[in-house]
Structure 1
Amino acid sequence: MGVEIRVEGLRKSFGRQVIWEDVTLTVPAGEISALLGPSGTGKSVFLKNLVGLLRPDRGHVYVGGGDVPRLREDQLYELRRRFGVLFQDGALFGSMNVFDNIAFPLREHTRKKETEIRRIVLEKMEMVGLTGAERKLPGEISGGMKKRAGLARALVLDPEIILADEPDSGLDPVRTAYLNQLFVDLNAELGATFLIVTHDIGTARVLPDNLGLLFRRGLVMFGPREMILSSTHPAVNQFFNARRQGPIGMAEEKDLARMEGEGQAPPAMPAPIPPQLMPSDGRPRPSMRRPGEWLARHRVTPPPGSFVDDQGRDWLTEWDRLVRSGQRPA
């Protein structure tokens, strides 16, 4: 099962460059969360702080009862075994075939026999759709296969937390859709906590249970998907609806007077909220919420056209029937 990650008052800088001042959030156990933000806002740096590869200037990262920045090296080593990390480019060893790349953590961190290692590796390869590619070298497989090989390697120690750093980077929209479905199916099967850093708005709008936005040296907002996608906060509204109008400019910072002027403009209507991706078997994951539940509880009217899928099915009114029949958004 997944483990909760609780971050309190995290600050990180490199010399005089402040990455973020005060990041506080809780990544719920067993759920899929995604963290987004413009380039240069420290998303990858945030992941490295979670696993202790970088230490913050101040603040806390609580994982399973331990405060990561304050753990001894031996404690940190043990904690990292609870994480599975999918790096942005797969980070495969070029001289090793796919099987040996995936087996590496088992050979490095366990005393399992080769017969057991082979069973585990083949099982994880089947989970990510790589059966038959055991002997191929990284240079002989596609970008999408490299991502899946990196994901299989992240899974071999049966982690409680899976971190993915821009897993859709360099993938076309079709492969990205397949990868998103794989994340949903793995979460349903394993119950692990997923935290995904991405730039892809399409992924952010349909995949996670929770969303967050880093911007201007801080965390603007983090919470349930419907809360974020219905928000009229200028930066959140602009980013998740991919609009030019708002405080986020081509450069990392905008002229202050221009930003203040934009802050006085009426917020744009959020785009329709799409249905959330369902597992392939059509059964909701334990952390999935009924469409419109958060909106109704907080008396927020959904944007027109929300929760209607590509087949014209209205998940706001037909959730129970569609779930009973095992159907899911296309």
Structure 2
Amino acid sequence: MGIEIRVEGLKKSFGRQVIWEDVSFTIPAGEISALLGPSGTGKSVFLKNLVGLLRPDRGHVYVGDGDVPRLRENQLYELRRKFGVLFQDGALFGSMNIYDNIAFPLREHTSKGESEIRRIVLEKMEMVGLSGAEEKLPGEISGGMKKRAGLARALVLNPEIILADEPDSGLDPVRTAYLNQLFVDLNADLGATFLIVTHDIGTARVLPDNLGLLFRRGLVMFGPREMILSSTHPAVNQFFNARRQGPIGMAEEKDQAQLDDEGEAPQTMPAPIQPQLMPSDGRVRPAMRRPGEWLAQHNIKPPPGSFIDDEGRDWLKDWDDLIDNGHRPR
């Protein structure tokens, strides 16, 4: 099962530039969470703080019982074995074939023999749909295949936490959809904690169990998917609905003069909330919530048109039938 990550009072700066300050939230164990925000808000920097590649100016990052900024080097080395990291570009070694790239962590960090390594590598390659590509070099495969090879490498040590930094960057919408489905299937199979940093609103609206938004040197909001997607908070509403009017500008934050020029923002409803992606085999992941459950608990009416899938099924009304029949959106 996955591990809970708890962040308390985190601040990070580079010289006089404050990236974020007093960030506190909890990433639930075994769930898929996504962190978004305008460019320059420190999303990738946040991931580096989680694994101890950077140290915060102050605050705590609890991964299980360990406080990452306060661990000794040998303790940090052991903790990192619990993480699998998918980098933006896959970060594959160009001179190694795909098989050797994926086998690298096993050869570097374990004493397993080559027969055991081969079994694990081929298993992970099959898991991400790369069977038969063992001998190919990174320069001979597509961007989507590189992402999946990077993901397979992140999985070979059976991590309890999987971090993905902009996994959809450079991918077309179809490959992004395949990758999102792969994340859902892996979470269902492995039970690992997933944290995905992305700019892709389409991904954010259908993939994670929890969403967070970084802006103005801090965390604006983090919580269940339905809470964020139904929010009327100006920055959250603007970002997740891709609107120009609001506090986020071309250079991150608009000043007061710009906001005054825009005038009072019209009251706009959030976009309809789409059904959440389910595993390919129609299972319900333990972290999945019944559609509309959070909204009903907080007496919030969903935006019009919410929870209707591409086949016209209303997940609010038909959830029990969908689950009983093993259906899922295509």
C-alpha RMSD over aligned residues: 1.1
User: Counterpart in 2 of 1:66?
Assistant: 66
Letter in 2 for 1:244: R
Deviations 1:168-219 (A, max 9, x none): 0000000000000000000000000000000000000000000000001000
User: Counterpart in 2 of 1:199?
Assistant: 199
User: Counterpart in 1 of 2:167?
Assistant: 167
Superposed, 1:234-245 pairs within 5 Å as 234-245=234-245
Q: CA deviation at 1:259?
A: 3.4
User: Counterpart in 1 of 2:106?
Assistant: 106
User: Counterpart in 2 of 1:93?
Assistant: 93
Superposed, 1:1-330 pairs within 5 Å as 1-259=1-259, 265-330=265-330
- What TM-score does the superposition give when structure 1 sets the normalisation length? 0.98
Q: CA deviation at 1:157?
A: 0.2
Is 1:11–1:22's contact at 8 Å kept on the other side of the alignment?
A: yes
Q: Secondary structure at the match of 2:103?
A: helix
Residues 219/247 of structure 1: CA separation in 2 closer, same or farther (3 Å cut): same
Give the unaligned 5+ runs of structure 1: none
Q: Secondary structure at the match of 1:76?
A: helix
Q: Secondary structure at the match of 2:249?
A: coil
Deviations 1:20-70 (A, max 9, x none): 011101000000000000000000000000000000000000001000000
Q: CA deviation at 1:256?
A: 1.9
Partners of 1:26 and 1:140 in 2: CA distance: 40
Q: Secondary structure at the match of 2:23?
A: strand
Percent of aligned positions that are identical: 87
Deviations 1:155-177 (A, max 9, x none): 00000000000000000000000
Is 2:34–2:198's contact at 8 Å kept on the other side of the alignment?
A: yes
Q: Secondary structure at the match of 1:19?
A: strand
Q: How many pairs align?
A: 330
Letter in 2 for 1:68: V
Q: Secondary structure at the match of 2:274?
A: coil
Deviations 1:105-158 (A, max 9, x none): 000000000000000000000000000000000000000000000000000000
Residues 243/71 of structure 1: CA separation in 2 closer, same or farther (3 Å cut): same
Residues 260/284 of structure 1: CA separation in 2 closer, same or farther (3 Å cut): farther
Residues 229/261 of structure 1: CA separation in 2 closer, same or farther (3 Å cut): farther
Give the unaligned 5+ runs of structure 2: none
Is 1:247–1:262's contact at 8 Å kept on the other side of the alignment?
A: no
User: Greater CA deviation, 266-275 or 132-141?
Assistant: 266-275
Q: CA deviation at 1:253?
A: 2.5
Is 2:246–2:265's contact at 8 Å kept on the other side of the alignment?
A: no
Is 2:82–2:161's contact at 8 Å kept on the other side of the alignment?
A: yes
Letter in 1 for 2:194: F
Letter in 2 for 1:284: V
Letter in 1 for 2:280: S
Is 1:12–1:20's contact at 8 Å kept on the other side of the alignment?
A: yes
Q: Secondary structure at the match of 1:214?
A: strand
Q: CA deviation at 1:260?
A: 6.3
Q: Secondary structure at the match of 1:203?
A: helix
Residues 193/263 of structure 1: CA separation in 2 closer, same or farther (3 Å cut): farther
Letter in 2 for 1:137: L
- What TM-score does the superposition give when structure 2 sets the normalisation length? 0.98
Q: Secondary structure at the match of 2:253?
A: coil
Is 1:82–1:161's contact at 8 Å kept on the other side of the alignment?
A: yes
Q: CA deviation at 1:261?
A: 7.3
